[in-house]
Amino acid sequence: MKEIMQKMRAEAARVLSSGEVDLVLGWEKGDLWWQSYPVFIENEKKAELLTWDLFCVPNLAKYLLEEIWHKKRVALFFKGCDALGFNQLMQDKRVDREKAFIFAVPCSGLVDPQKVERAGLHQGLLRVERLGDELTFVYKDREKKTAAPWFYYDKCLTCRYPNPVVFDFMLGEPVPVNPRERFTAVKELEGQNVDARFQYWQRQFSRCIRCFACRNVCPACSCRECIFDLTSPRWLGKATELSENQFYHITRAFHMAGRCVDCGECARVCPVQIPLTSLNRKLIKDIDELYGPYDAGVDPQKVPPLVTFNPGDPAAFLESKGV
Amino acid sequence: MQEIQKARLPQLWEYLAKKAPLYLPQQEDGVINFAPWQEGARVKLESLNTVLPPKSIVFPQWETYLHFTQKARELKLTPTKEPEGSYILFGVRPCDVAGITVLDRVFLQDPVDVFYESRRRCTIISLACNEPDISCFCSAFGLEPGFAPAADIMLWDGDKFLLWQSLTEKGETLTHSLTDLLEVPTPAETESVQCLRETAATVQEQKWGLDGVKERAKDMFNAPIWDSLYRRCLGCGICTYLCPTCHCFDIGDFSRGERGERFRCWDSCMYKDFTLMASGENPRPTQKERVRQRFMHKLSYFPAQHGLYGCVGCGRCVRKCPVNIDITQVIKEAGGSISCA
Ligand code: SF4
Ligand code: SF4
Ligand code: SF4
Ligand code: SF4
């Protein structure tokens, strides 16, 4: 990763000094081990701030909405999942491909701080390093080595596009693609009866504090005016009543149908761990089964199944059989 | 001082829950929050901070305070009665007790908030931290991870037992009713409290010096740090909703036909509509002004008004901000000095 980080810094300095772009979007290291956050670099001398480590998880694509609006040309770094989100923004005609210069960073998985904490490895931790498939947890006076996949985000373990599908310049070599089955949790839920499923989701949604972080971070949520922000009429009240929480989640899930790129950002940012991935993947799975396999964000030229009509499309909902 | 064997805690909770609603940290779907105790509850005392602070009990995310009906030209208002009866908060960490003290400054000052006041008639049983997290920095604000002066009863974790000390009359009364469950600790056990307090204070890795921070923060209105912080902010307000001291609220209505209710609910200075006027004018037009407001309020305006910082160093915002906007960086910028243990 260090080698790629050096290249990142060099490339960022190059595109800024040549005037190819006005801004570079990357990640910067914070004071604590899990902190790697988006950084905005306009001066080549600041390129040294860039980092590439096991915690560079925030997707940078959505910041383009604001920056391109300010007529900036922007260079930015994409992992596999980030590139899918960018393509969705393209498909929604919200970003201009010409304005973005994309560096691809093939990604073999990032570390989920919550998994580190659950394993009790967080106290006194200074940093985490990776060599091959092995992680080293570094403390003041000791080190601990373990197998890396144990600590990867679930979304990384099931990732099918770790090599960015859109880019101008590739940093590093493509990584092998070896995803685990992603519908396990959905299938488990599908196996339960309606009451059990309803109860499950009620319990989840009752925890929602309606911070809208899931929406704000989502590359498929790019409406200029969001229905949930409207004040007149106010479709969604501000009280976190269960029925209102359900209204929020069901509406958002439907808006995501055929558009969610399964990047997992919404589930990552949720402070109360609502399993949004299961909700989104249920819709992905249903669409796959009804209209044939489709992966949002892979090819922005492809026509998404829900914006087109084919006379042969199944229409179970017309037969009122229920689900 | 007294003590209770950990093995007898379920008995204690069952007894307490019969006296009054009992809230303690419980785990559901992997998330630990304060919730009412029931038979079979998955209590998690050993975890440090809950996701939501106990603020969510004394000042719930939303509550109805008025019902109304409107027929033709006649409007009828029925105020909701303030919540009655007391309850017990068990296992509150010292920073969160201090957080409630901050809320008191806001809601118990004239004009007193009657809803808050009645919810505040609770008994707070605090549990000292033995091993603060790397993101905890309560000591920066003169607080102590091993002691909560504003609690009614203080507990220390001595591995197999909890040491028990009442700090107020309310705490004393409750303690008296528990003679069957509490025991007298050995002198060595009583002494261990001092040791636990000292170790907790030293384990907190970062030693802060906050001299002059609130004065310097006052001059930070035009500081460059806001420019570098705000651009990555998602404007989600997680930092405010999860903060034990943030207390801003909004007012809204539910109405259907002729009937409705008026409620108040948490709001956040990180939201675009927080300062949006009916005219469409917004005095905090970009995320920069909103981010600045949050930190200036905690480090400058609140201390100027109330004499204490609007942050208790619980570290929730540090841990949960999706893009790591970290208040300790702002404190350093304001001249807070830090050295590692
Ligand atoms: S809904 Fe969640 S997983 Fe899907 S695109 Fe949005 S953030 Fe990514
Ligand atoms: S991020 Fe979580 S808590 Fe926030 S609105 Fe989304 S589901 Fe609710
Ligand atoms: S500002 Fe952050 S660290 Fe301070 S009390 Fe609030 S949530 Fe805790
Ligand atoms: S500082 Fe972080 S938690 Fe707070 S609104 Fe911004 S992104 Fe959300």
Q: Tell me: the pLDDT tens digits for B208-229?
A: 778 888 888 888 999 999 998 9
B316 — pLDDT class (breaks 50, 70, 90)? very high
3-state secondary structure of B84: coil
Q: Among all residues of chain A, which has the CA nearest to that of B271?
A: A211
Residues 6+ apart with CB under 8 A from B336: B140, B208, B209, B210, B213, B328
Q: Percent of chain B at pLDDT above 70?
A: 98
CB pair distance less than 8 Å for B134 and A125: yes
Residues A279 and A221 in one domain: yes
Q: What is the pLDDT of residue B213?
A: 86
In a domain, A312, yes or no: no
For B124-151, the pLDDT digits (tens) are: 999 999 988 888 999 999 899 999 999 9
H/E stretch holding A147: strand A143-147
In a domain, A76, yes or no: yes
| Amino acid letter for position B251 | I
- Number of domains chain A contains: 3
Residues A82 and A204 in one domain: no
The residue-averaged pLDDT of A239-268 equals 96
Dihedral sign from CA coordinates of B310, B316, B319, B322? negative
B206 — pLDDT class (breaks 50, 70, 90)? low
| Amino acid letter for position A59 | N
Widest distance between CA atoms in chain A: 68
Residue spans of the domains in chain B: they are 2-338
- Lowest-confidence pick of A13-17, A225-229, B167-171: A225-229
Rounded to a whole number, what is the distance in Å from the CA of A301 to chain B's nearest CA? 29
Residues A265 and A147 in one domain: no
Residues A79 and A214 in one domain: no
In a domain, A322, yes or no: no
Separation of alpha carbons A220 and A261, rounded Å: 8
For B5-61, the pLDDT digits (tens) are: 999 999 999 999 999 999 999 999 999 999 999 999 999 999 889 999 999 999 999
For B73-113, the pLDDT digits (tens) are: 899 999 999 888 899 999 999 999 999 999 999 999 989 99
In a domain, A129, yes or no: yes
For A283-312, the pLDDT digits (tens) are: 999 999 999 999 999 998 888 999 888 888
Q: What is the pLDDT of residue A193?
A: 96
Nearest Cα residue to atom 7 of ligand 3: B243
Residues A292 and A203 in one domain: yes
Separation of alpha carbons B248 and A90, rounded Å: 38
CB B314, CB B244: distance < 8 Å:
yes
In a domain, A130, yes or no: yes
Q: Which residues of B touch A32 (CB under 8 A)?
A: 134-135, 318, 326
The DSSP 8-state label assigned to residue A210 in this structure reads -
For A164-219, the pLDDT digits (tens) are: 999 999 999 999 999 999 999 999 999 999 999 999 999 999 999 999 999 999 99
Write down the H helix ranges in A58-141.
63-69, 80-91, 113-118
Nearest CB to A272; choose among B31, B62, B254: B31
Residues A192 and A281 in one domain: yes
In a domain, A257, yes or no: yes
In a domain, A195, yes or no: yes
The DSSP 8-state label assigned to residue B8 in this structure reads G
Best mutation site among B51, B228, B229, B236 for ligand 4 pocket (most ligand atoms within 8 Å of CB): B236
Q: Which two tokens stand for residue B265?
A: 């609910």
Separation of alpha carbons B125 and B34, rounded Å: 13
Q: What is the pLDDT of residue B257?
A: 87
Q: Which two tokens stand for residue A5?
A: 């980080």
CB pair distance less than 8 Å for B52 and A209: yes
Q: What is the pLDDT of residue B205?
A: 60
Q: What is the pLDDT of residue A321?
A: 55
Q: Among all residues of chain A, which has the CA nearest to that of B326?
A: A30
Q: Which residues pair with A137 in a beta bridge?
A: A128, A144
Nearest CB to A32; choose among B51, B134, B242: B134
- Per the structure, the complete domain to which residue A146 belongs is given by 111-151
Residues A136 and A214 in one domain: no
Best mutation site among A270, A280, A285 for ligand 1 pocket (most ligand atoms within 8 Å of CB): A280
**ipTM confidence score:** 0.94
Residues A34 and A165 in one domain: yes
The phi-psi region of residue A104 (left if phi > 0; otherwise alpha if psi is between -120 and 50; otherwise beta) is beta
**Mean pLDDT, chain A, as a whole number?**
94
Separation of alpha carbons A258 and A286, rounded Å: 10
Burial of A312: CB neighbours in 10 Å, binned 0-12, 13-18, 19+? exposed
Q: Which residues of B touch A30 (CB under 8 A)?
A: 324, 326, 329
CB A41, CB A77: distance < 8 Å:
no
In a domain, A69, yes or no: yes
Residues A122 and A220 in one domain: no
Q: Percent of chain A at pLDDT above 90?
A: 85
Separation of alpha carbons A91 and A86, rounded Å: 9
Q: Percent of chain B at pLDDT above 90?
A: 78
CB B102, CB B109: distance < 8 Å:
no
Question: B163: closest CA among B188, B142, B198?
Answer: B188
> Which residues of B99-176 form beta strands (DSSP E)?
123-127, 153-157, 161-166
Q: Which residues of B touch A22 (CB under 8 A)?
A: none
Q: What is the pLDDT of residue B341?
A: 44
Which chain A residues touch B if contact means CB-CB below 8 Å?
30-40, 58, 63, 66, 122-125, 203-204, 207, 209, 211-213, 216-217, 229, 231, 234, 237-241, 268-269, 271-273, 275
Q: What is the pLDDT of residue B337?
A: 73
Separation of alpha carbons A192 and A188, rounded Å: 7
Q: Is the pLDDT of residue A320 over 70?
A: no
Q: What is the pLDDT of residue B202?
A: 78
Within 13 Å and on the Cβ side, how many CA atoms surround B49? 30
Ligand 1: residues whose CB is within 6 Å? A 217-220, 256, 260-266, 276, 280
Within 13 Å and on the Cβ side, how many CA atoms surround B195? 8
Q: Which residues of B touch A35 (CB under 8 A)?
A: 324, 326
